[in-house]
A and B are shown apart, each in its own frame.
Chain A
Amino acid sequence: MNEIVQKVLKGDQRSIARLITLAENNDDIATKAMRDIHPHTGHAQVIGITGVMGSGKSTLICELTRLYRKQGKTVGIIAIDPTSPFSGGALLGDRVRMMELAMDEGVFIRSMGTRGMLGGLTSAVYDVVEILDACGKDVVIVETVGVGQAEVDIIKIADTTLVVVIPGLGDSIQTLKAGVMEIADIYVVNKADRSGVEQTIAEVESLVDITCSGKDRKTPVLPTIAKQSKGIDVLLQGIDDHRTYLEKTHIFEKQRRLRYEAELVEIIRKQLMSFIFDESTVKERIDDLLDQIERKEIDPYSAAEEILGKILK
Chain B
Amino acid sequence: MVERKIRVLVAKPGLDGHDRGAKIVARALRDAGMEVIYTGLHQTADMIVEAAIQEDVDVVGLSLLSGAHMTLFVDVAKLLKKKGLGEVLIIGGGIIPEEDVPKLQKEGISAVFGPGTPTEKIVEYIEQNVKR
Which residues of A are interface residues toward B (Cβ below 8 A)?
A: 13-14, 16-18, 20-21, 24-28, 83-84, 86-93, 95-97, 99, 102-103, 108-111, 113, 115, 270, 273-274, 277-278
Interface size bracket, B side: 20 to 34
Question: Which of A27, A103, A110, A270 lies in contact with B46, CB distance below 8 A?
Answer: A103
Write the chain B residue with the least CB distance to A278.
B1
Residues from chain B with a CB closer than 8 A to the CB of A20 are 56
Contact of B39 among A26, A88, A96 (CB under 8 A): A96
Q: Is B36 an interface residue (CB 8 A)?
A: yes
Whether B84 and A14, one on each chain, are in contact in the complex, defined by CB atoms closer than 8 angstroms, is yes
The closest CB in chain B to the CB of A14 belongs to: B53
CB neighbours (8 Å) of B2 from chain A are 25-28
- B120 on the interface (CB 8 Å rule)? no
How far apart sit A311 and B91, CA to CA, in the bound complex (Å)?
Answer: 46
Q: Is B50 positioned at the interface, with any CB of A under 8 Å from its CB?
A: yes
Q: CA–CA, A278 to B1, complex, Å?
A: 7
Q: How far is the CA of A80 from the CA of B77 in the complex (A)?
A: 28
| A-B CB contact pairs (8 Å), 17 listed | A14-B53, A14-B56, A17-B54, A26-B1, A26-B2, A84-B30, A89-B30, A89-B31, A89-B34, A89-B35, A95-B38, A95-B55, A99-B43, A102-B51, A109-B51, A109-B54, A278-B1
CB-based A-B contact count at 8 angstroms:
99
Q: Is residue B26 within 8 Å, beta carbon to beta carbon, of the partner chain?
A: yes
Known A-B contacts A14-B84, A111-B37; the reply to A274 vs B1 at CB < 8 A is yes
Given A26-B2, A111-B55, the answer on whether A103 and B32 have CB atoms closer than 8 Å is no
In the complex, A13 Cα to B31 Cα: how many Å?
A: 29
Measured CB to CB, the closest approach of chain A to B35, in angstroms, equals 5
Q: List the A side residues contacting B27 at CB < 8 Å.
A: 91
Q: Is the pair A277, B1 in contact by a Cβ cutoff of 8 Å?
A: yes
What separation, in Å, do the CA atoms of A278 and B26 have in the docked complex? 31
B55 near A91 (CB under 8 angstroms)? Answer: no
Across-interface contacts of A90 in B (CB, < 8 A): 30, 35-36
